[in-house]
Amino acid sequence: MNYQAKLSTIANFHQLAILASVSLLGLWLSLFLQPPAAWIITGILTGVVCVSTDRMMRAHPQFRLLAPTFPPALWILPALLSLGSVLFFRLVEGDALKIGGLAASVVLLTIVVVSQYHSINPADRRFGLARFFLHITTYIVAAGFYIAIFQKDLGPLSTASGIGFITLLLSLELFRENAGDAAKAWLYAAVVALILSQIAFAMDFLPLDQLAASIISLLAFYLFTGIVLNHFAHRLTKGTVVEFTVVAAIGLAFLYIRSFF
């Protein structure tokens, strides 16, 4: 490791410690504050997470050469994870669950930021593990937001808009590396978001409970993003489409069987 890399590592550890501390404080305050103070703290926390993530990513020795053409895409997952944690704490009850969630959220945020750093350079020996973890976390965050949105029962237009917006951002996280350029990533992310928003709008008129609607949205998100990712990697075949469709069909079958109990 050369001198510049050592300095970058030391700076990132310092920045990561600050981020974890501020996140812990912000999430802890969110347990006690009521709107509008809670939303002000949430906005500040999300902004700090974005700025800290950006600073750490730009400290990467190969950032200028290898970073995505739309660097703010690197902020999306950490920011939504922080925002989702606040929403989670406001939906659940029980001190033990909240305290456990608080600790888990800070640890998960730290791992996500470190994984983002290692995902910048494909030659990084931790690149594969980092991207795998980020993909899994993206789907977990999507599930959390879908559940939160459907639980609010906002009406068809607001629900569809919320699902579409979250899907757009998380699709950008998934596509940022493989799309090749920002315009292409935005285009495909917008298409997936439009599809999910239309599905959410239609489900509002169906006799589905909130959990079922959330699972259907997650299955659709997994199906369409998986197809797009395989298209970017030039691995999209009939077999691949069938594979993703079968997974989605199994999920829908589970929901159908569940409806009888």
44-86 per-position pLDDT tens digit: 888 888 888 888 888 777 777 656 556 777 888 888 988 888 8
Residue 55 · residue 15 · CB < 8 Å = yes
Number of separate domains in the chain? 1
Of 221, 113, 208, which Cα lies nearest the Cα of 166? 221
Position 220 in a domain: no
The mean per-residue pLDDT over the stretch 88-108 comes to 76
Query: How far is Cα 221 from Cα 32, in angstroms, rounded to an integer?
Result: 34
The mean per-residue pLDDT over the stretch 242-250 comes to 80
43: tokens are 């906005």
Question: Given CA atoms 26, 49, 134, 138 in this order, what sign does their dihedral have?
Answer: positive
Of 115, 134, 199, which Cα lies nearest the Cα of 163? 199
Q: What percent of the chain has pLDDT over 70?
A: 88
Position 194 in a domain: no
pLDDT(259) > 70: no
Q: Is 34 helix (H, G, I), strand (E, B) or coil?
A: coil
11: tokens are 């700076």
Mean pLDDT (the chain, rounded): 81
Position 106 in a domain: yes
Residue 56 · residue 117 · CB < 8 Å = yes
The residue whose two tokens read 């599905």 is 199
Residue 109 · residue 140 · CB < 8 Å = no
Residue 127 · residue 118 · CB < 8 Å = yes
The mean per-residue pLDDT over the stretch 117-123 comes to 82
Position 253 in a domain: no
The DSSP secondary-structure symbol of 177 reads T
Give the pLDDT score at 225.
92
Position 41 in a domain: yes
Position 92 in a domain: yes
Position 120 in a domain: yes
**Burial grade of 117 (CB within 10 A; 0-12, 13-18, 19 or more):** buried
Query: How far is Cα 227 from Cα 238, in angstroms, rounded to an integer?
Result: 10
Domain carrying residue 67:
1-124
Position 224 in a domain: no
Of 46-50, 151-155, 215-219, which one has max mean pLDDT?
215-219
